[in-house]
Structure 1
């Protein structure tokens, strides 16, 4: 293993796996803290998917350290701490506390914070995070149900979470190339800075950053930061890129879409899917809480839905409606109820012969994958930037597309299925 990674949610882990795979590394995704006896032979990169983004910071640190120790013991030469390209967090963490703990574990004197993913419209300029052409604080992320992001200044956001000084490396330095960037890292370290937010506007910037991070034991950021890292190992190691495929074989069985994200992107995808004729049913959070709607009801509806189109069950709500729900039930309580319910639905559908699931929302994906008992995923073809199909190789045989709520084109729920090729029962 050359690169080991710890991701704070499952969709982000899948996104990172896709990036590493696209850059030529044989990559596997592990769900949850791996055991000491887990076998990683044949993998150039291993990404551990945790559900640690919104749990108490101390628990996130413990899970991340436990995962990192396994990866390092298995030979990982560089560690990535992966978080969301929109820096989803609170003033208490968990990005800062986990990054500092991993710095201590790896003995990394200075590391970077690089959430940018230009292909998905996430860029950083003068330390400020943009979503498309809007500041983070003016984007739909300001109304995220669990981690509303209302401060676009990443140095300021990260410093509130960290005990050690946070610095900034601006775009003009990155444009001068990797050697100038390395020198800037050293200069910032000399002034006492230990974690450096780096401006990033283009994929070319990410590749420069990757070269400058050669030999840096710990790198932190979004999936984009991994774009330039495999090339460093290609210069000194030999690894054989996996064969690229346009489509992925999937197990026989029916398909379903389960959406727990309230992002503007996912809400738009639901509207397009419904307009195209997909059978659609909304999960009513209040009715679930009062026992008037159950996971069994939702699963039964999907099982008996007519036609060949995958049924879509969703809980997504707009900001105003979501605020009303949260004012009654609580922010975390309402989200947890949705996750538990959709996880129960997925389990019932699996038992009824469903084998292909498209899941929207990081927390929802984590809850469903855990309920289904999936442990290891192979990465398949890319549907949209940051979202591939995957297939389970440990646990039940399933094809899974795990989509961050903010990712994907408007027709994502419609076109994703074209990349699957169903195996016959005797394949």
Structure 2
């Protein structure tokens, strides 16, 4: 591992002084920590995720030894107009940071629609700010059970990790905000932007690297695309895509890329090969945990995924205490304060007695509370899309008070949007990956101005992440520093 930073310095001298290999913006919070995990496995000395764009002074004085950094956002929940206001200045900031690759990180299930979290809108802004021959689009992540074949996307989900075409996926086809009705990512993207998307398909990625690279250039020359989608089936093709992306960045003085954490896994494979670092060494970094009696765990869930549903049920059977969030009472001015106090007191009672607690808004996608909440929001003239913000704020206040009063050392937050809102309520301004428990579920150390939250260990879990016993595993492991 010690060789890796030296190799980066040689490889990243792209048209100017040596630069960081990568910086990124995550369009949801748990997805942003997913990138931390992949860069951690790639062997980078230190990668930090900021909740707001870092100032040059902060990077220079406190995070001088950072190889890569990211900025966590909520782009996945924004309208195109809101994305324009948020992303354009942020992209300019990332461009000024001078990284070799600037990555707009999206969910590996391509969560987006023309009106919410439009990846097409992000591509338009990125094309305008960064230019370049084309924008690489890489979504597949074999490590997470995500595959792209002939432009159609597939994802594991449900019992036994069965792989489904995205428009038939048990979660994504029924997503409450961005349901996936089309598995061909080119057609799905065409509903969001007039930018042209070409494909380097699975057959074009076969054979020698020289042949693959020649096919890439043929596609670019003949189709002149704005975006180029890479098929991904296995680690070999993922690495080939990473090599082409890295070479494009080197040849054209930097590159803007859109994709899942597959981008980092692809680049990481290239970086490890350049550094002569084995995959076994990367695996040894992943397993820096050991069983322990870590004390009670606070789980805060705003997810309605069936995977999270199974995890909640398994943890309750294992002895966790479950507390349903009374969202209707929390939204009413007449009952809000009493509901907050009652919720906090019940959670505090269990935690103070040494019992792990799950505070949840819904048990799963078929929970009746979801429909009732939408009715309450509609009656109050509030968009259903705003439910994540309202829920996140309420859960953030609860988490803040419980951690402050009880000195809790580890919190698991389930749900991408929920994670973003809760960490902001805690005053966390940066996160660093310190270990990995399950794919997509890294254990992070928080940086915060308030001592109660500085050093807090956080696991930020997306709805599709983790095995059925994930909550118990988080509760029973500690970091071996």
Aligned ranges 1:140-219 → 2 under 5 Å: 140-190=171-221, 191-214=223-246, 215-216=248-249, 217-219=255-257
Aligned ranges 1:19-98 → 2 under 5 Å: 19-25=38-44, 26-39=46-59, 40-92=63-115, 93-98=117-122
Structure 1 residue 164 displacement after superposition? 1.4
Aligned counterpart in structure 2 of residue 270 of structure 1, from 292, 312, 336:
312
Listed one character per residue, the Cα deviations across residues 334-355 of structure 1 (whole Å, up to 9, x for unaligned) are 3332212111111111221223
RMSD of aligned residue pairs (Cα, Å): 2.7
Using the TM superposition, name which of 76-85 and 388-397 deviates more. Answer: 388-397
Structure 1 residue 9 displacement after superposition? 1.2
- Quickly say closer, same or farther: Cα 1:83–1:277, change in 2 above 3 A: same
Residue number in structure 1 paired with 2:123: 99
Q: How many residues align?
A: 421
Write the distance in 1 (CA, Å) between the matches of 2:65 and 2:228. Answer: 33
Write the distance in 1 (CA, Å) between the matches of 2:403 and 2:134. Answer: 46
TM-score computed with the length of structure 1 as normaliser:
0.90
Residue number in structure 1 paired with 2:398: 345
Using the TM superposition, name which of 14-23 and 348-357 deviates more. Answer: 348-357
Listed one character per residue, the Cα deviations across residues 346-378 of structure 1 (whole Å, up to 9, x for unaligned) are 111122122311000000000001111101111
Write the distance in 2 (CA, Å) between the matches of 1:177 and 1:387. Answer: 35
8 A Cα contact 1:11 1:365, kept in partner: yes
Write the distance in 2 (CA, Å) between the matches of 1:361 and 1:137. Answer: 21
8 A Cα contact 2:416 2:463, kept in partner: yes
- Structure showing greater radius of gyration is 2
Write the distance in 2 (CA, Å) between the matches of 1:124 and 1:107. Answer: 26
- Quickly say closer, same or farther: Cα 1:326–1:203, change in 2 above 3 A: farther
- Quickly say closer, same or farther: Cα 1:261–1:94, change in 2 above 3 A: same
Aligned ranges 1:383-394 → 2 under 5 Å: 383-394=437-448
Aligned counterpart in structure 2 of residue 301 of structure 1, from 340, 343, 346:
346
Residue number in structure 2 paired with 1:376: 430
8 A Cα contact 1:211 1:229, kept in partner: yes
Listed one character per residue, the Cα deviations across residues 58-115 of structure 1 (whole Å, up to 9, x for unaligned) are 3324433333333333331111111000000112442111123223322222122211
Write the distance in 1 (CA, Å) between the matches of 2:26 and 2:132. Answer: 18
- Quickly say closer, same or farther: Cα 1:58–1:192, change in 2 above 3 A: same
Q: Secondary structure at the match of 1:71?
A: helix
8 A Cα contact 1:123 1:199, kept in partner: yes
Structure 1 residue 401 displacement after superposition? 0.3
1:220 aligns with 2:258: yes
- Quickly say closer, same or farther: Cα 1:94–1:32, change in 2 above 3 A: farther
Residue number in structure 2 paired with 1:335: 388
Residue number in structure 2 paired with 1:109: 133
TM-score computed with the length of structure 2 as normaliser:
0.81
- Quickly say closer, same or farther: Cα 1:249–1:76, change in 2 above 3 A: farther
Residue number in structure 2 paired with 1:404: 462
Structure 1 unaligned segments of length 5 or more: list them. Answer: none
- Quickly say closer, same or farther: Cα 1:81–1:21, change in 2 above 3 A: same
- Quickly say closer, same or farther: Cα 1:117–1:236, change in 2 above 3 A: closer
- Quickly say closer, same or farther: Cα 1:422–1:16, change in 2 above 3 A: closer
- Quickly say closer, same or farther: Cα 1:316–1:422, change in 2 above 3 A: farther
Residue number in structure 1 paired with 2:146: 122
Aligned counterpart in structure 2 of residue 315 of structure 1, from 361, 384, 389:
361
Q: Secondary structure at the match of 2:474?
A: helix
Q: Secondary structure at the match of 1:312?
A: strand
Using the TM superposition, name which of 330-339 and 161-170 deviates more. Answer: 330-339
Q: Secondary structure at the match of 1:351?
A: helix
